[in-house]
Amino acid sequence: MPLTRTLTELTACGLAVALSPLDIALVLLLLLGTAPLLKSSLFSSAWFLTNSAAIAVLVTVGKGLTLSMEKGGIHQVGLDLFAAGALLALGIRELDPKPKGYEDLQNSWITKLAKVSQLPLALMMLVAPATLLLSPDNLFLLAKGAALVQGGQHQPLTEVGLIAYFSLISSSLLLLPIVLLLINRQLVQPWLQAGKSFIEARSSLILGLLSLALALYLGWSGWSGLGGFTAIS
C-alpha cells in the first residue's frame, strides 16, 4: 500500500479513536480541577503510550501469526466485516431509547468521572489504559490501525513512525484543550465546562452515532477489499 494511502486511512482511524466521549470528558474535568495541567498531561501521555504499545503489540502478533493484512487479504476483509457488524450492533443499542433509570457501561463511567479525577497521580495514569482498552470502538480501531501499519508492508523504521503518528492523531482531542488552556485560561475555561456538560448529557448519542459511522467505514473497507480477495496470501 502506498505510504500516502496508509497515512490517510490511519488519520481517519486515529480521529475516530480521538472522538472517545469518555476520555475527552475526563480530560475536561481534570482541566477544571486542581493541578489541571499536570493531571491532564499525565493522563494524555499515558493514553498516547498505551495507544502506541497496543498497536506495536498487535503488529508484532500479526506478523508472528503471518496474518494477511494487505488490501484484499483474508484477514483484512474478515477483520473489517466482523468489526463493522459488531459496531453496527453497538451503535443501534446506544441509540435505542432506554428505559427510565437504565444505565449502561458508558454512562456508568461518565457519572463516576468526578471520583476518578480525585485519584492519586499514579492511579490516574492507570485509568488511561483502562478507558482506552475497555471501549469496543477503540479495540476495533486499534486492530484496524495495526492492520493498516502491517498491511502497508513498509520498512520497520517507517512502521515505528506510523505507529507514533497514529497515536498522536488519536490523542489530538485530549491534547487540544490542554494547549488552548495554556494559551488563554480565562477564555477557554467556560468552553471546557460547557463541553464537559454536553458530553455527559449526550454520551450515548455521541457513542451511537460514532459507532454507526465506523461501521459504515469498516463495512465499506471490507466490501471493497473483496474485489481483490485472496484466501491464501
Domain ranges within the chain, ordered by starting residue:
3-221
Average pLDDT of the residues in 163-187: 90
Q: pLDDT grade, residue 139 (50/70/90)?
A: confident
pTM of the predicted protein model: 0.75
Q: Count of CB atoms within 10 A of residue 187's CB?
A: 10
Rounded to the nearest integer, the mean pLDDT of the chain is 78
Q: What is the pLDDT of residues 32-85, one digit of tens each?
A: 888 888 888 999 999 999 999 999 998 888 777 655 555 556 666 776 777 777
pLDDT at 207 over 50: yes
CB burial readout 89-110, b (16+ within 10 A) else e: ebbeebeeeeeeeeeeebbebb
pLDDT at 168 over 90: yes
Contact 127, 201 (CB under 8 A): no
| HEC string for the chain | CCHHHHHHHHHHHHHHHHCCHHHHHHHHHHHCCCCHHHHHHHHHHHHHHHHHHHHHHHHHHHHHCCCCCCCCEHHHHHHHHHHHHHHHHHHHHHHCCCCCCCCCHHHHHHHCHHHHCCCCHHHHHHHHHHHHHCCHHHHHHHHHHHHHHHHCCCCHHHHHHHHHHHHHHHCHHHHHHHHHHHHCHHHHHHHHHHHHHHHHHHHHHHHHHHHHHHHHHHHHHHHHHHHHCECCC
pLDDT at 144: 83
